[in-house]
Amino acid sequence: MWRTLLPLIAVATLNAASPGQAEPRQIEHRYGITEIDGTPQRVVSLSFIGHDYLLALGVKPVALRFWYGDHPFGVWPWASEALGDAEPTVLYGDIDIEQIALLKPDLIVGQWSGMTESQYHLLSRIAPTLPPEPGESDYSSSWQTVTERLGVALNKRDEAKTVIDRLNARFEDLRQAHPDWAGQTAVVAWPPQIGVFTSHDLRSRFLHNLGFVSPLAVDAMSGGNAFFVTLPQEDLSPLDSDLLLWVHTGNLKAALDGIVLRRTMRSYREGREVYIDYNLTAALAHSSPLSLNYALDRLVPLIDAAMDGDPSTPVSSMVAEGVAP
């Protein structure tokens, strides 16, 4: 039914089956090319977020990789309805080849898994295995690319296109509704170190999709493709953007109070800070079609309040945490 081809060519194509058919198709990845024939029925997700994507496409995995949280089967609220009454096996810790073999999968999803080349070759002896695409790191693939590639692998190309088109259209509608956001700087950070995500991170990409841009000063500090940088307490200028999102931390008030120069920043004085709570922080970290829709539902009203040009407008998430200006 399947076979994995070794990386013998420099350039390969992504060939999908014709609509409604399950013809053989090839998917290029960082370790070579995987060929799939038929429609997979028993899918194992080794990706820490891969089950979100599978569920968005109507596929319930027989097993999924646990990341973090205390939700049933490791599935967060935005995906629980799609999971329904399914009870997938939860895989904890490192990739266990023997455990996966016992699950008898006919497709192994390995994007966002940290899978090594040696693990790939072992897993591909069990079932067709899908590592990240060429040129991407273990955890950098965009939600569009992951969705599209899974659509090909699962013989659900049309469904994947629909998911991508709908979410892209939602972002476009929000950009059209908020033209004043275009070109405004925005950063996501966590206290009290202070860590700031660069433009290469998924959280920043989310803001870019809404029209915001990352401050050049932050990327300049990264020295390349780093996903985050750490700022010294004595110079917060790279952080002082038009919109500042603080991610969840155990005691936000204590953490922010520990940033001595916070009150000198324009984002503080003008009420342009937004706190993203535990679930919102996780939703942006997953950055799947399901979690991004959840994030848009909850986060856009908070950004509206922060970006309305009136410092007196309360940002409800900041007020609830007792950290509003």
| Residue 225 resides in a domain | yes
| Residue 154 resides in a domain | yes
In terms of C-beta density within 10 A (0-12 exposed, 13-18 middle, 19 or more buried), how is residue 26 classed?
Answer: middle
What Cα–Cα distance (Å) separates residue 78 from each residue in 207, 216, 298, 312? 19, 33, 12, 32
pLDDT digits (tens, 9 = 90+) for 108-164: 999 999 999 999 999 999 999 999 999 888 888 999 999 999 999 999 999 999 999
138 with 187, same domain: the answer is: no
Last residue of a domain, one of 107, 132, 165: 165
Mean pLDDT across 86-91: 98
| Residue 171 resides in a domain | no
129 with 186, same domain: the answer is: no
| Residue 170 resides in a domain | no
12 with 94, same domain: the answer is: yes
Give the pLDDT band of residue 300 (cuts 50, 70, 90).
Answer: very high
| Residue 175 resides in a domain | no
pLDDT digits (tens, 9 = 90+) for 215-246: 999 999 887 778 899 999 899 999 999 999 99
18 with 155, same domain: the answer is: yes
Last residue of a domain, one of 140, 165, 190: 165
One-character DSSP codes across 151-177: HHHTT-HHHHHHHHHHHHHHHHHHHHH
158 with 95, same domain: the answer is: yes
Give the pLDDT band of residue 11 (cuts 50, 70, 90).
Answer: very low
Last residue of a domain, one of 100, 135, 165: 165
| Residue 172 resides in a domain | no
Give residue 208's domain range. Answer: 180-320
Task: Indicate the average pLDDT of the chain.
Answer: 92
| Residue 311 resides in a domain | yes
Mean pLDDT across 187-212: 95
111 with 209, same domain: the answer is: no
7 with 141, same domain: the answer is: yes
| Residue 260 resides in a domain | yes
Sheet strands (E) in the chain: 2-5, 25-29, 32-36, 43-45, 63-65, 89-91, 107-109, 129-130, 186-190, 195-197, 228-230, 243-246, 273-275
Cβ proximity of 212 and 274 under 8 Å: no
130 with 204, same domain: the answer is: no
10 with 110, same domain: the answer is: yes
pLDDT digits (tens, 9 = 90+) for 253-280: 999 999 999 999 999 999 999 999 999 9
7 with 110, same domain: the answer is: yes
The enclosing domain of 105 has a CATH number of 3.40.50.1980
H helices, E strands: number in the chain? 13, 13
Q: What is the pLDDT at residue 225?
A: 75
148 with 195, same domain: the answer is: no
Using DSSP's 3-state secondary structure scheme, residue 134 falls into: coil
In total, how many domains does the chain have? 2
Q: What is the pLDDT at residue 5?
A: 33
34 with 160, same domain: the answer is: yes
